[in-house]
A = this chain, B = another copy of it.
């Protein structure tokens, strides 16, 4: 099974907590915070945070902090920027690659904040 392979390929013990977490993130189209999934999982929050942190170490999951002071996680796929609405807090994955270089720097993450389409059109 896909999920089990991902876990074992990184030399992680195959536990039900880990399968539960990955199942949810693999089926989500958007980044999720602990808050968003706590009712769908059975493990303690300490277990969630310890595992998601391990997934990050192993480059299975990527995360960033949003405006609501919560950390959002998503399966690490092709790198892409995120847009966070300062009005409604919605997070968008920007699939159109924004790329630029900064000499002698490594760009790992791009976070753009502003007003999203929904809020923008409401205000016009």
Contacts and interface: CB of A to CB of B under 8 A. Distances in A.
* Copies of this chain, count: 2
Interface stretch (A11-19, A27-35, A42-50, A100-108): A100-108
A59 interface: no
Interface residues of A, number: 25
A112 B120 contact: no
Contacts of A69: 65
A21 to B, nearest CB: 23
Contact of A110 (B64, B110, B117): B110
A106 B112 CA distance: 10
Contacts of A100: 98
Contact of A108 (B65, B108, B114): B114
